Structure 1
Amino acid sequence: MLDTVMLFAAGFGTRMGVLTRDRPKPLIEVAGQPLIDHALELVEAAGVPNRVANLHYKAEMLAAHLQPRGVNLSLESPQILDTGGGLKAALPLTGPGPLFTMNTDVIWSGPNPLDLLRATWQPDSMDALLMCVPLENTIGRKAPGDFALDRAGKITRGGDLVYGGLQILKTQDVARHDETVFSLNAIWDVLAARGRLFGAVYPGRWCDIGHPEGIRLAEALLSEPHV
């Protein structure tokens, strides 16, 4: 049962410049609310009850914001652990999976991407399912893309699909990975070699908040009427 989401919130947000001097990136406001609250709204609407976030940079500020929302916290100290290491450290809170992992610095416009992933997930054939966005439907992202899909939905590197920062992942390979600090890219390579890495294509639009200008772009996207 997909009842857990891992929210990645530990990063330094250095590309945001002065905006992250006094706060962590997930607390930067977009359209009047912190970035991470946009992610939490999607999680809540999808009915995912167990929410876990990893913290490192200005962890106390994020903890004060997230604890009242019922989010379980995984503090990374003294070093930041990257996505794979962060998930591995949080496994006592997430349980054995499978689970959603979600970046907290993007904005989705369209149907709830967690609902779409859940509807596409086939655990008998998949170990990971990545939500991807066609490059032409992204905002704040330049070419090239990240991935391509074959007719069966298997995903390979290179192509015009952008990873949207959301996936469903089985965690066994994360748990037994030898390193403490590592990216989930290392896990994807293992799953791809096994023929168990798949992708889904998001039908809406998506904005990356990778730099200060991304805030304006995201707010413009959110102001557009939904079809």
Structure 2
Amino acid sequence: MKAMILAAGLGTRMRPLTLTTPKPLLRVGGKCLIEHHIERLVAAGVREIVINHAWLGEQIEAYLGDGNRYGARIRYSAESEPLETGGGIRKALPLLCDQGESAFIVVNGDLFSTQPLADLLQINPPPGGAHLVLTANPEWHPEGDFALAANGQVSVDGDCRLTFSGMSVLTPELFDGVDEQAFALAPLLRQAMAAGRVTGSRLQGYWEDVGTPERLQALDRRLRAGDI
């Protein structure tokens, strides 16, 4: 199974740190944020990684190179204009499914987690489906995103509402029939949920949406102190 790391955001919430440095290259715990993802994917057995980029993307390619020093093969999907999450993934599909593979892992580049990624390698959603890793609602997002039922099905509404962690297993067929170049992923997931094609699991371990300089600094302190 291949994986994609989403790294094309402008990082506006992280300014001024991201005025000259792309968000994935901000350092936390002694290494760049995106390196944590790459190392955890490789440790789980994923060697083929696709990274999309836009803002200051040439810095990302120059720093990570072909991925050889991480034990991975990294390929890049450069975006000349904002494509949003859904559009960015669809543009990269030829790299993710170039040998007829189906499902692939997607990880948001602006998160940190100790979720065991090897667990995701065993998940094979039906064509047009997806599997989402959901986590407890943080204080800044108390209403959550989706509901997780006891049987593992994910729906838009329900009693147990959780927050989408930014880690998922997607199928290329999820993007069939979309004509736009730039579009969000969430509407496609909702359509698949209505058709009963989305499952989910609770996140295991630590998770943080590294969305602000304050969260980045707090995470850096925890990692350096050995608290995570």
In the aligned structure 1, how far is the partner of 2:161 from the partner of 2:217?
A: 24
In the aligned structure 2, how far is the partner of 1:126 from the partner of 1:220?
A: 41
Deviation at 1:225, TM superposition (A): 4.6
Change in CA separation of 1:179 and 1:125 when aligned onto 2, cut-off 3 Å: closer
CA offset digits 1:146-166 (Å, max 9, x no partner) = 122112111123554111111
Report matched runs for 1:44-123 at 5 Å: 44-69=42-67, 70-77=73-80, 79-95=81-97, 96-109=101-114, 111-112=115-116, 114-119=117-122, 121-123=123-125
CA offset digits 1:10-49 (Å, max 9, x no partner) = 0000000100010111011111111100111111111112
Normalised TM-score (structure 2): 0.87
Aligned to 2:7: 9
Contact in 1 for aligned 2:152/2:199 (Cα 8 Å): yes
Change in CA separation of 1:32 and 1:209 when aligned onto 2, cut-off 3 Å: same
Deviation at 1:67, TM superposition (A): 2.1
In the aligned structure 2, how far is the partner of 1:149 from the partner of 1:115?
A: 21
Deviation at 1:133, TM superposition (A): 1.0
4+ runs deviating over 3 angstroms:
122-126, 223-226
Question: For residue 40 of structure 1, what is the amino acid of its counterpart?
Answer: I
Contact in 1 for aligned 2:155/2:190 (Cα 8 Å): no
Moved more, 40-49 or 88-97: 88-97
For the pair 1:209 / 2:207, whether they are aligned, the reply is no
Report matched runs for 1:53-202 at 5 Å: 53-69=51-67, 70-77=73-80, 79-95=81-97, 96-109=101-114, 111-112=115-116, 114-119=117-122, 121-124=123-126, 127-135=129-137, 138=138, 141-157=140-156, 159-202=160-203
Deviation at 1:117, TM superposition (A): 2.4
Contact in 1 for aligned 2:129/2:173 (Cα 8 Å): no
Q: CA RMSD in A?
A: 2.0
CA offset digits 1:66-90 (Å, max 9, x no partner) = 223131001111x110111111111
Question: For residue 44 of structure 1, what is the amino acid of its counterpart?
Answer: V
Contact in 1 for aligned 2:8/2:55 (Cα 8 Å): yes
Change in CA separation of 1:125 and 1:53 when aligned onto 2, cut-off 3 Å: closer
Moved more, 182-191 or 156-165: 156-165
Unpaired runs of 5+ in structure 1? none
Q: Report % sequence identity.
A: 33
Aligned to 2:41: 43
